[in-house]
């Protein structure tokens, strides 16, 4: 989690330390990095505490809940309250269906088509090798929307 915060979300280590300190001292949250209440975006860390989202800085700025809700819907939390499955944002389709799944319990955390478990990387490789979309869709039983999302995901990854 720490590596993801630092590399993918540009959260500096000093900000992580500050967030850990604020979460524990002001909110009583220990083990913040594995807490269901942790939220982050663009170099900042937040705490979802009793329906209020606060930035984890010494000034504790209150954040707009609606802004984060779209991102929170992309994460499924397991029974223990820890993040279990992640659904990347749709790149092409606007159907609202969760087509691509990233889960540590499926394909070693690689992105797959949720309905079939087929790796997005495999689909992209076959397209890059010159196979036709129809051939790939027939082989795996893919819908056109799933094929489009898989290729868009791999292009962005």
Q: What does the domain layout of the chain look like in residue ranges? A: 2-72, 86-156
Give the residue carrying structure tokens 């992580």: 16
Decide if domain 86-156 falls under CATH 2.40.50.200. Answer: no
Per-residue pLDDT, 66: 58
User: CA nearest 39: which of 83, 104, 79?
Assistant: 83
pLDDT at 118: 95
pTM listed for this prediction: 0.56
The per-residue pLDDT for 65 is 56
CA gap 18, 15 in Å, rounded: 5
Task: List 112's β-bridge partners, or say none.
Answer: 101, 119
Q: Is the dihedral of CA 125, 113, 102, 51 positive or negative?
A: positive
pLDDT of residue 115: 93
How confident is the chain (157 residues) per 10-residue block, as mean pLDDT?
74 82 83 80 76 72 59 81 82 76 90 94 95 95 93 88
Return d(Cα 45, Cα 63) in angstroms, integer. 11
If we measure between CA atoms, which residue out of 52, 86, 79 comes closest to residue 68?
A: 52
């Amino acid at each position: 989690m720490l590596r993801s915060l630092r590399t993918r979300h540009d959260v500096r280590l000093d900000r992580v330390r500050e967030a850990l300190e604020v979460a524990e001292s002001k909110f009583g949250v220990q083990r913040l990095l594995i807490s269901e209440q942790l939220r982050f975006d663009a170099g900042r860390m937040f705490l979802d505490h009793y329906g209020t989202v606060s930035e984890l800085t010494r000034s504790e700025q209150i954040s707009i809940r609606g802004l984060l809700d779209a991102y929170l819907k992309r994460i499924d939390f397991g029974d223990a309250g820890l993040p279990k499955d992640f659904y990347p944002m749709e790149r092409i389709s606007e159907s609202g269906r969760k087509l691509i799944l990233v889960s540590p319990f499926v394909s070693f955390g690689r992105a797959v088509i949720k309905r079939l478990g087929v790796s997005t990387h495999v689909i992209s490789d076959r397209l890059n090798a010159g196979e036709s979309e129809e051939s790939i869709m027939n082989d795996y039983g893919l819908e056109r929307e799933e094929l489009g999302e898989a290729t868009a995901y791999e292009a962005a990854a």
